[in-house]
Amino acid sequence: MKYRIPKGTVDLYSPHIHYSQAVYSHACHLFTRYGFSEVVTPVFEHTDIFVRSIGESSDIVHKEMYTFNDRSGRSLTLRPEGTAGVVRAYLGNKQTNVDAHQRWFYFGPMFRYERPQKGRYRQFYQLGVEIFGCENPYYDAELIALLAEYIESFQIPEYDLKINNIGCKECRPTYNRQLQEYLSRYTSQLCNDCQYRLSHNPLRVFDCKNKACRQIWEEAPLIHEAACPSCQSHYENALFWLDQLDVSYVQDPFLVRGFDYYTRLVFEFCSNKLGAQDAFLGGGRYDNLVEEFGGKPTPALGASFGVERLILLMKEYEYSAQPDIPFYYFVVFDRENCRQNVPFIQWMRRQGYPVLIGDYNRSLKYQFKEADRKNADYVLIRGENEIAEDTIQVKNIRSSQQDNISLSEFKQQAGSNNT
């Protein structure tokens, strides 16, 4: 029987792995400079935490979650996004009793049942950041500035930052009524999904990509115009700090994000290199979510990257994720020659260099071909003559140049190149 990979999933190999590793390592390096530490949560959670946080009327809950009952009959769901699990961890580990101000980042697989397309799979990866206990709008701007710095660390020069004010639980009901009243005039012209959204959560209409629906809601009342003074003040102050941090942005009055838990300021980073589904990073405030999970009222905000889409941009702008360390292939003649060279090979590995030892049961011709197949940068050879003379042959695979140099000189060069 021939097994096929499940639809919407991919096996990952080099060089894709190098890009994924770069995404994670850059995050560890940069985010910690802003006071973040890493958190790892389970890949499945109780279903209820996603239903109550994302919103039952959202497309994710309504259509896309992988939900199952375990052997005890409990409903569990493979996580479709990271924030809900992090909030649960924040409360479950009593972090509020330690320090209400927490900054966490995470990296891992998420799962959604949706139509596979470019940069979007049913198992995909997200890199996310979450901040708890920070009501000051300065932190909204600082988070966005951090994300912009992270993107630019991959030499991605062009992107659009879209931002909007979607109000809070105090002022949004008024806007929902206004929007519902407007859209109800065009019910028959809306697609089936938008008709469902109209009766369950009219704000979700702005998620629709249907051209006919877009033409209708582009004339709808604007959500930021219904914002209460508190939300408006927060938004204007966040924009002030974005200007101070020299972050460029465009205000998009129809940006609402796909989750019900967002409040006040929301944002997306988009690129025209990604086609119609152009967002590769999004986030915003969720000041009510901790309380809805049973905690104390706690202001919070966060964002997440679609890692596959970020990698598409890295490739588009020719970012090199290949480690800048030469890869060596050590040719050996026989068992005794391998034994004689193993101490030196292990020294190289301890210096941080990747070294693959050839199979001494194979011919030299085979080993040279394997070095090329493995994309080695250099082939190293130390036969009887080289061992006697304390030298080493170094062949550059790309240029075919071959030199015989002293072992001490090679060690000195290797040591200095890896400091």
Q: Is the pLDDT confidence value at 91 over 60?
A: yes
Rounded Cα distance between 404 and 192, Å, is 73
Q: Across 17-21, 242-246, 411-415, which has the greatest mean pLDDT?
A: 242-246
Least confident range of 35-39, 106-110, 184-188, 341-345: 184-188
Q: Across 270-274, 324-328, 380-384, which has the greatest mean pLDDT?
A: 380-384
Q: How confident is the model over 21-37, as a mean pLDDT?
A: 94
Three-state SS at 325: coil
**Contact indicator for 87, 293 with CB cutoff of 8 Å:** yes
Q: What distance, in Å, lies between the first and last C-alpha atoms of the chain?
A: 51
Q: How confident is the model over 305-321, as a mean pLDDT?
A: 91
Domain boundaries, the chain: 16-171+227-316, 328-417
Q: What is the pLDDT of residues 137-159, one digit of tens each?
A: 999 999 999 999 999 999 999 99
Please tell me the predicted confidence (pLDDT) of residue 275.
78
Residues contacting 304, CB < 8 A, separation 6+: 81, 82, 83, 126, 127, 128, 129, 281, 282, 283
Q: Is the pLDDT confidence value at 97 over 60?
A: no
Q: What is the pLDDT of residues 175-185, one digit of tens each?
A: 888 888 888 88
Predicted confidence band of residue 201 (pLDDT cuts 50, 70, 90): confident
Residues contacting 398, CB < 8 A, separation 6+: 377
Other CB atoms within a 10 A radius of the CB of residue 197 amount to 24
Predicted confidence band of residue 1 (pLDDT cuts 50, 70, 90): low
Please tell me the predicted confidence (pLDDT) of residue 81.
93
Beta bridge partners of 391: 406
Please tell me the predicted confidence (pLDDT) of residue 417.
60
CATH class for the domain made up of 328-417: alpha beta
Least confident range of 12-21, 164-173, 200-209, 236-245: 200-209
Q: Is the pLDDT confidence value at 98 over 60?
A: no
Rounded Cα distance between 161 and 246, Å, is 13
Between 369 and 101, the higher pLDDT residue:
369
Q: Is the pLDDT confidence value at 419 over 60?
A: no
Least confident range of 41-45, 118-122, 209-213, 321-325: 321-325
Beta bridge partners of 117: 120
Q: Is the pLDDT confidence value at 57 over 70?
A: no
Q: How confident is the model over 356-361, as a mean pLDDT?
A: 95
The conformation of residue 317, written as its DSSP 8-state character, comes to: T
Q: How confident is the model over 329-343, as a mean pLDDT?
A: 95
Indicate the fold that domain 16-171+227-316 takes in CATH. Answer: BirA Bifunctional Protein; domain 2 (3.30.930)
User: What would the two tokens of residue 350 be?
Assistant: 């301890």
User: What would the two tokens of residue 19 be?
Assistant: 């890009």
